[in-house]
Amino acid sequence: MSEMTRRSFLSTAWKVGFGLLAAAGVVTTFDLLKPHLAAGFDAIVRTVAPDAVPTTGVLEVRDARGYLVKVDDDVLAFSEVCTHLGCRVPYVDENGRFECPCHGSKFTREGDYIEGPAPRGMDEYATEVVDGVIEIDTTEVIAGPAPGSERT
């Protein structure tokens, strides 16, 4: 068996290091970009009291795969799934809007279409206040409005 030289050891160490770095990048990127096949998943999710929803920004609701937003006195629930190809759309506090990292679609805090390849605004879930807590009905998905039209 031949003895490992310093040069071959360092060469192998660099290759392993870059391989681990690439694997970590793939895993973390997949979590952000993984598509969801359907926005709704047949559940009613109990969240928070209406007063707990911020008047600026959004409240992420992981159990519902979505967000709660307070607009005037109404609380809206949006799906986190982009209406273009199903990537997860995070809310970007610095810009005050939702921005899809996959293909650049942008949506207002109220879920309306701004720009990008998405065919419409963000999909909305039905909500109801029961015993002082907002319930999100993910079985009832309301399609977002087409570009240029208003959310009703």
State the pLDDT at residue 145: 66
- What does the DSSP assignment read for 35-84? PPS-S--S-EEE---GGGS-SSS-EEEGGGTEEEEEETTEEEEEESB-TT
* 52 residue type, one letter: A
What percent of the chain has a predicted confidence (pLDDT) above 70?
86
Residue-wise pLDDT for 54-98, tens only, equals 888 888 888 778 898 988 888 888 888 888 887 889 898 888 889
Quote the CA–CA distance of 95 and 100 in Å, as a whole number.
Answer: 13
Judge if 29 and 90 occupy the same domain.
Answer: no
Six-digit token string for 138: 């993910």
The candidate with the shortest Cα–Cα distance to 107, out of 129, 123, 128, is 123
Judge if 53 and 98 occupy the same domain.
Answer: yes
Let me know: does 66 contact 80? Beta carbons within 8 Å: yes
Domain limits at 7? Answer: 1-33
Q: 38 in a domain, yes or no?
A: no
Judge if 60 and 118 occupy the same domain.
Answer: yes
User: Is residue 19 within a helix (H) or strand (E), and if so which, with residue range?
Assistant: helix 6-33
Q: 149 in a domain, yes or no?
A: no
Domain count across the chain: 2
Q: 147 in a domain, yes or no?
A: no
Judge if 21 and 48 occupy the same domain.
Answer: no
137 burial (CB, 10 Å; 0-12 / 13-18 / 19+) is middle
Which position has the higher pLDDT, 146 or 138? 138
Residue-wise pLDDT for 1-22, tens only, equals 567 888 889 889 999 999 999 8
What mean pLDDT is predicted for residues 23-40? Answer: 63
Quote the CA–CA distance of 120 and 113 in Å, as a whole number.
Answer: 6
